[in-house]
Structure 1
């Protein structure tokens, strides 16, 4: 049986790839909904792994607060409205952003759950720092995955 760290990493990486697929949906706003559902499911899985009660309402609030760059999500989504090339480029940028964002959210959630045993208490500055570091790692993870394909 795998340890929690390995299990958490598998949950995070799998959901980052699912989020990339959701972000590549060529229909504006549907992509954002798909990615959000993947992120909520990832949070639920991480809570289960750490034996923490899951609250969808709390999950949505934390995802919204940490994702902060919601305008980047919307701009990539609306870029898809440009006929032909817009759909392709918007889908690719939204897929990469969605993977990196989901990866970093997963790492933040795992960090909170492992350190505090809940999502109720945390230092926002610590979380912002972890999120930024993990976002860069998430971009590298997705880039390496794409290069292998």
Structure 2
């Protein structure tokens, strides 16, 4: 779009190189604005899904919480695929989620299963699971989302996603995601108390 406008200015009789250069610079500015807007939309999308995953992990039923978090992460990948104009398939999305979370021990799937299983312990089990699972679910969702964005920005698709190349980045993003998930968990808890007090 922008390149064709520059070409037209340069080809027009009497069109000058200065005008073409100015048009090219203006087009580059618009492209940069589009990239920034794109990044902001993707970032906000991930934050929304971190909130959803954190809330879903509060469900007191063991293992149902994990299924809910995986479904939320799949929906996030679908939305990011649409945003970046990449093809989406549920099976490829699941493979990416399991490869990232399962391939990094202590940074996702293994820890989530253990935390969810504590909900089976009568009495105190649900409380133990509630302490850590929301943070892990939120951080994992954040790390999956950031990994997908990095891969898409490098020109990849779900079909050529190589989790072994993304593990270090996933770990780094998981740690960053913990802070966001803690804030989200605290906010959800405060809002829950407000609702209880109002009723």
> Normalising by structure 2, what TM-score?
0.70
Larger radius of gyration: 2
8 A Cα contact 1:16 1:100, kept in partner: yes
Match of 1:18 among 46, 52, 55: 52
Q: Deviations over 1:79-132 (max 9, x none)?
A: 011222210220231111100000000000111111124223345443111101
The aligned residue for residue 73 of structure 1 is 112
Q: Which has the higher contact order (CA 8 A, sep 6+)?
A: 1
The aligned residue for residue 7 of structure 1 is 41
For 1:75 and 1:146, the matched residues in 2 are separated by: 19
* Unaligned runs of at least 5 residues, structure 2: 1-33, 191-199
Match of 2:143 among 104, 112, 116: 104
For 2:126 and 2:162, the matched residues in 1 are separated by: 39
* Number of residue-to-residue matches in the alignment: 149
Pairing of 1:38-117 with structure 2 (within 5 A)? 38-68=72-102, 69=105, 70-117=109-156
Q: Secondary structure at the match of 2:158?
A: coil
8 A Cα contact 1:22 1:31, kept in partner: yes
The aligned residue for residue 26 of structure 2 is none
Q: Secondary structure at the match of 1:27?
A: coil
For 1:94 and 1:7, the matched residues in 2 are separated by: 27
The aligned residue for residue 70 of structure 2 is 36
The aligned residue for residue 8 of structure 2 is none
The aligned residue for residue 158 of structure 2 is 119
> Normalising by structure 1, what TM-score?
0.91
8 A Cα contact 1:66 1:131, kept in partner: yes
For 1:82 and 1:122, the matched residues in 2 are separated by: 38
